[in-house]
């Protein structure tokens, strides 16, 4: 296997919503689906933000650096989400802002020997965080070791330059392809307030804590878990249609009837890889997206 360090300038597509202040943890505890008390300098979590009807407004990857929580989400929703969170601060000692000084990068290592050479041997579990050469790294799911990297621009660039003989710059689509392969969803403007967390498998990626206290939308989420049946789930598939026609939230049909929606997608040279929400009892139907067949992978 070729030894390669691929770096991804994730800050171009993803934003860091920084939540800080004396009351940051209890404030977030009342807003998100996961337990913020699980997050520390060594552990991160996925967590949803719901409206009162239990529909997702955002999905975050939350990491903690120093005394601040960083909520990572797509740029297209970050500003509005930061404003919405700020509405609930009231008298709490909490500061919420889009952080533009801390740089968000992605690192991916192919080759075990390279990992050892640069001090990133694959011994850390997914979602665990650690410091490395002045950078805050968090391991994320992937076919090769992948890390979210927070730090100042100079430190990150120096690390990449020091390993220039192995490093190449990757595209955001390549990074997203790995996330889709691991069935990690995202929420975009087009899909806000449409899905309950369980229908996007947030309970299966440990993004919901059913033992924590109250948060916005909890009643619906808890009722579905304890009393109801999850009728829709997140699936992954491939599609060979015209990629320019793909839209977040687009309908997936069976016999001309809408039974699901597109959650996320990315295309390579031959096909498009799609995450979609679908009625579970329709999984064996012939699925159609934009007049082309959608093949279910898992």
The residue from 201, 219, 251 where one domain ends is 201
Sorting pLDDT into bands at 50, 70 and 90, what band is 123? confident
Which of 152-156, 172-176, 266-270 is predicted least confidently? Answer: 266-270
Q: What is the mean pLDDT of residues 10-35?
A: 98
Identify whether residues 239 and 190 lie together within a single domain.
no
Identify whether residues 122 and 255 lie together within a single domain.
no
Identify whether residues 64 and 184 lie together within a single domain.
yes
DSSP conformation letters of the chain: ---EEEEE-GGGTEEEEEEESTTHHHHHHTTBSS-GGG-BTTB-EEEEEE-TTS-EEEEEEEEEETTEEEEEEEHHHHHHHHHHHHTTTTTS--EEEEE-SSEEEEEEEE-HHHHHHTT--S-SPTTBEEEETTEEEEEE--SS-EEEEEE-HHHHHHHHHHTTTTEEEPPHHHHHHHHHHTT-----GGGTTS--GGGGTTTTTT---TTS---TTHHHHHHHHHTS---EEEEEEEE-S-GGG--TT-EEEETTEEEEEEEEEEE-SS-EEEEEEEEGGGTTS-EEETTEEEEE--
Which of 13-22, 115-124, 198-207 is predicted least confidently? Answer: 115-124
Per the domain annotation, does 274 fall within a domain? Answer: yes
User: Any residues with CB less than 8 A from the CB of 126 and at least 6 apart, and which?
Assistant: 139, 140, 141
Q: Cα–Cα distance between 292 and 277 in angstroms, integer?
A: 17
Total count of domains within the chain: 2
Is 80 exceeded by the pLDDT of residue 269? Answer: yes
Say which residue, 118 or 26, is predicted with more confidence.
26
pTM, two decimals, is 0.95
Identify whether residues 117 and 13 lie together within a single domain.
yes
Two tokens at 294? 């959608």
Identify whether residues 64 and 195 lie together within a single domain.
yes
Identify whether residues 189 and 273 lie together within a single domain.
no
Is 70 exceeded by the pLDDT of residue 1? Answer: no
Q: What is the pLDDT of residue 20?
A: 98
pLDDT digits (tens, 9 = 90+) for 158-169: 999 999 999 999
pLDDT digits (tens, 9 = 90+) for 215-227: 999 999 999 999 8
Per the domain annotation, does 209 fall within a domain? Answer: no
Per the domain annotation, does 240 fall within a domain? Answer: yes
Q: How remote is the C-alpha of 8 from its chain's centroid? A: 15
pLDDT digits (tens, 9 = 90+) for 30-45: 999 999 999 999 999 9
Give me Rg for the CA atoms of the chain: 19
> Percent of the chain at pLDDT above 70?
100
Per the domain annotation, does 54 fall within a domain? Answer: yes
Contact 17, 81 (CB under 8 A): yes
Residue 243: which of 289, 189, 192 has the closest Cα?
289
Which of 30-34, 138-142, 193-197, 266-270 is predicted least confidently? Answer: 266-270
Identify whether residues 100 and 239 lie together within a single domain.
no
pLDDT digits (tens, 9 = 90+) for 54-112: 999 999 999 999 899 999 999 999 999 999 999 999 889 999 999 999 999 999 999 87
Identify whether residues 172 and 25 lie together within a single domain.
yes
Identify whether residues 130 and 255 lie together within a single domain.
no
Q: What is the pLDDT of residue 254?
A: 95
Q: What is the pLDDT of residue 115?
A: 85
Identify whether residues 21 and 79 lie together within a single domain.
yes
Q: Cα–Cα distance between 138 and 130 in angstroms, integer?
A: 7
Two tokens at 208? 């919901």
Q: What is the pLDDT of residue 111?
A: 82
The enclosing domain of 289 has a CATH number of 2.40.30
The residue from 181, 201, 221 where one domain ends is 201
Sorting pLDDT into bands at 50, 70 and 90, what band is 122? confident
Per the domain annotation, does 207 fall within a domain? Answer: no
Sorting pLDDT into bands at 50, 70 and 90, what band is 2? confident
Q: What is the pLDDT of residue 113?
A: 84
The enclosing domain of 52 has a CATH number of 3.30.1360.120
The residue from 149, 179, 201 where one domain ends is 201
Identify whether residues 281 and 171 lie together within a single domain.
no
Is 90 exceeded by the pLDDT of residue 120? Answer: no
Which of 117-121, 253-257, 261-265 is predicted least confidently? Answer: 117-121
Q: What is the pLDDT of residue 128?
A: 97
Identify whether residues 119 and 251 lie together within a single domain.
no
Is 80 exceeded by the pLDDT of residue 228? Answer: no
Per the domain annotation, does 162 fall within a domain? Answer: yes
Two tokens at 19? 């939540």
Per the domain annotation, does 222 fall within a domain? Answer: no
Per the domain annotation, does 186 fall within a domain? Answer: yes
**Domain membership of residue 246 as a residue range:** 231-296
């Amino acid at each position: 296997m070729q030894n390669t360090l691929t770096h991804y300038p994730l800050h171009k597509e993803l934003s860091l919503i920084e939540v800080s202040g004396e009351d940051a943890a209890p404030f977030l505890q009342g807003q998100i689906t996961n337990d913020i008390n699980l997050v520390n300098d060594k552990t991160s979590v996925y967590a949803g933000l719901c409206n009162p009807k239990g529909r997702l407004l955002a999905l975050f990857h939350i990491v903690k650096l120093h005394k601040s929580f960083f909520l990572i989400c797509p740029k297209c929703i970050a500003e509005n989400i930061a404003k919405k969170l700020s509405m609930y601060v009231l008298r709490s000692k909490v500061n919420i802002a889009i952080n533009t000084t801390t740089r968000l990068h992605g690192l991916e290592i192919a080759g075990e020997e390279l990992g050892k050479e640069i001090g990133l041997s694959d011994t850390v579990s997914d979602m665990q965080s650690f410091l490395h050469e002045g950078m805050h790294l968090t391991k994320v799911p992937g076919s090769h070791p992948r890390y979210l990297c927070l730090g100042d621009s100079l430190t990150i660039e120096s690390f990449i330059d020091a390993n220039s003989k192995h490093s190449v710059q990757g595209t955001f689509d390549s990074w997203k392809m790995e996330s889709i392969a691991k069935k990690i969803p995202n929420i975009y403007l087009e899909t806000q307030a449409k899905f309950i967390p369980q229908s996007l498998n947030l309970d299966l990626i440990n993004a919901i804590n059913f033992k924590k206290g109250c948060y916005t939308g909890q009643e619906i989420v808890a009722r579905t878990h304890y009393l109801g049946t999850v009728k829709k789930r997140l699936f992954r598939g491939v599609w060979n249609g015209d990629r320019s026609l793909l839209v977040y939230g687009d309908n997936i049909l069976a016999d001309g009837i809408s039974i699901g929606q597109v959650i996320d997608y990315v295309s390579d040279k031959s096909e498009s890889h799609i995450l979609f929400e679908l009625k579970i009892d329709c999984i064996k139907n012939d699925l159609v997206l934009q007049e082309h067949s959608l093949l279910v992978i898992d």
